[in-house]
Amino acid sequence: MEKLEYSLSILLVEDNVLNQKLIYLNLCKYGFKIDIANNGQEALDKLKIGVYDLILMDLMMPVMDGLETTVAIRNNELTTKEHMPIVGLTANTYDADREKCLAHGMDEYMAKPFDLQEFFNNLKKLQLI
């Protein structure tokens, strides 16, 4: 894995500070620009003012969880006609969780702990790199 030719801007929606730091440090060294939201409501607020290439979305958070937030983003896209790639993050590795993520409008799914190679594979699948 090499540094990116051009920087991708990512909104990391994660309530766990340790996970935030781990993902932030792993991705910054490859040239990603990371903005952090602690819950789904913060993410929706940041999306009103920021521009991102991808959202990494934890599923289980206080205030507004990742599934609710994804549905809200997808509903907003009905008027904007733009599509924001969203990758769900969860500590659970059940097949049903992956299906639930996709059914709620997420484009892909990753299990924690965060795996850099899987992340880059997802970026390729989503045609972001």
In the predicted model, is pLDDT for residue 91 greater than 90?
Answer: no
The domain ranges of the chain are 9-123
Query: Pick the residue with more confidence: 113 or 69?
Result: 69
Which pLDDT does position 82 carry in this prediction? 92
Q: What pLDDT is recorded for position 5?
A: 73
Confidence class of residue 7 from pLDDT cuts 50, 70 and 90?
confident
Is the confidence at residue 1, as pLDDT, over 80? Answer: no
Q: Please give the pLDDT value at position 103.
A: 92
- For residues 32-39, give the mean pLDDT: 96
Confidence of residue 97 (pLDDT cuts 50, 70, 90): confident
Region 20-42: mean pLDDT is 95
Q: Which helix (H) or strand (E) holds 121?
A: helix 116-125
Q: Which residue has the higher pLDDT, 91 or 35?
A: 35
What is the pLDDT, as a whole number, of residue 48? 94
CA distance 125 to 25: 23
**The token pair that represents 68 in the structure block:** 């609710």
Detail the DSSP E strand segments found in the chain.
9-13, 33-37, 54-58, 86-90, 108-111
Structurally, at CATH architecture level, domain 9-123 sits in 3-Layer(aba) Sandwich (3.40)
